[in-house]
Amino acid sequence: MRLITYGNENATKKYTPRRAMMYVPGNDWKKINKISSMGADSFILDCEDGVALNRKDEARSNIQKIFQEKMFSVLKSELSVRINSIESGLCKKDLETILKGPIFPSTLHLPKMETKVQLDWLAQELESLLGKNHNIKLIVFVESARALLDMKELIQHCFTLMDQGAPFNLEAAVFGSDDFCADIGATRTPEAKELIYSRQHFVTCAKAYRLQAIDLVYINFKDMDGLLRQSVEGAQMGFTGKQVIHPSQIEIVQQAFSPSKEKIQWARELVQSFDQHQQSGKGAFTFHGNMIDMPLLLQARNILKMADRLDQN
């Protein structure tokens, strides 16, 4: 089983930050026109749940137009597309319209990933629409109990397909908490205690394959304190970013998923101190009142790596 060279850990690949992943309904020009003035790392032009059934065609053709006319060509953020789930029966038309070309989105989101057969289907569709010379970044959504239990096998299957030449590169996984709650019969609460196990399972699985792990949406978009609390919690749990639905959520989320100046300084000093103690033959030592050994060094290095990726060093 290959682990280390998969996903964003591959040193030769450029890291795409996705601290805030902002949904913009693909049929809503008022919101689409706001993209350039919002500073999210990643925008998702949505064809799925943010778009009513009778507006799907409109969303598809708007999105196709946006790419062909290079409407956001100077945008520094990622501009991606969420298609409808394969099960919905709407996905084929999404792909055929959006990937008509010659200009393609760099990144596709596949909601409600459930089975290997679906992934095989996607690989074939993409190959017939893009050919073998294009490679699209893929982000998969885990939104049901079954998908969470099968997540490891489904991710492994993606990598098998990639090894066989499928024209996608799996980079991230998104936890679709609201569909997940509906699936297991849980009640969503602001504290999200009902999701602790599933978030931990999800993040462990994503990180085992070196994928970015994107946390749940905070749907009460006027509650900034709650958003901050849940964002900090997600970052502490190992998530790399969070889905957002409203412009007012972007800044709070991006901050929460960025290492602070103080944390970067702490990590730099810790690494330095660790090296000095190693040279004097000490594996464990006291630093800022805490015991430090190898696992803490690895955590400090994670902070510096993230700061480097976000260009904060």
Binding site, annotated residues: 82, 143, 179
Among residues 7, 20, 40, 46, which is the contact residue for ligand 1VU, using CB under 6 A? 46
26 binds ligand 1VU (CB under 6 A): no
Q: Kindly tell me which of 215 and 303 has the beta carbon lying closer to ligand 1VU.
A: 215
Q: Which two tokens stand for residue 138?
A: 């893929």
Q: Which residues are annotated as a binding site for substrate?
A: 82, 143
To the nearest whole angstrom, how small is the minimum distance from the Cβ of residue 175 to ligand 1VU? 10
Binding map of ligand 1VU across residues 178-207, x = CB under 6 A, - = no contact:
x-----------------------------
23 binds ligand 1VU (CB under 6 A): yes
Number of residues that bind ligand 1VU (CB under 6 A): 16
Q: Kindly tell me which of 96 and 178 has the beta carbon lying closer to ligand 1VU.
A: 178
Q: Closest Cα partner for 140 from 200, 91, 82?
A: 82
Binding map of ligand 1VU across residues 71-100, x = CB under 6 A, - = no contact:
------------------------------
Binding map of ligand 1VU across residues 120-159, x = CB under 6 A, - = no contact:
----------------------------------------
Interacting residues with ligand 1VU between 204 and 243 (CB under 6 A): 217, 219, 221
- What type of residue sits at position 151? M
User: What is the chain written as a DSSP string?
Assistant: ---TTSGGG-TTSPP---SEEEEEETT-HHHHTTGGG---SEEEEESSTTS-GGGHHHHHHHHHHHHHTTTTTT--SEEEEEPPPTTTT-HHHHHHHHT-SSS--SEEEE-S---HHHHHHHHHHHHHHH-TT--EEEEEEE-SHHHHHTHHHHHHHHHHHHHTT-SEEEEEEEE-HHHHHHHHTPPP-TT-GGGHHHHHHHHHHHHHTT-EEEE-----TT-HHHHHHHHHHHHHHT--EEEE-SHHHHHHHHHHTS--HHHHHHHHHHHHHHHHHHHTT-SSEEETTEEE-HHHHHHHHHHHHHHHHTT--
Span from 1-9, 44-52, 265-273, 297-305 in contact with ligand 1VU (CB under 6 A): 44-52
Among residues 152, 246, 263, 268, which is the contact residue for ligand 1VU, using CB under 6 A? 246
Return the ∠ at Cα 130 (arms to 126 and 131), rounded to 5°: 100
Which are the catalytic amino acids?
Answer: 293
Span from 8-16, 20-28, 159-167, 260-268 in contact with ligand 1VU (CB under 6 A): 20-28
Q: Kindly tell me which of 140 and 306 has the beta carbon lying closer to ligand 1VU.
A: 140
Give contact residues for ligand 1VU (rule: CB under 6 A): 23-25, 30-31, 34, 46, 49-50, 178, 217, 219, 221, 245-247
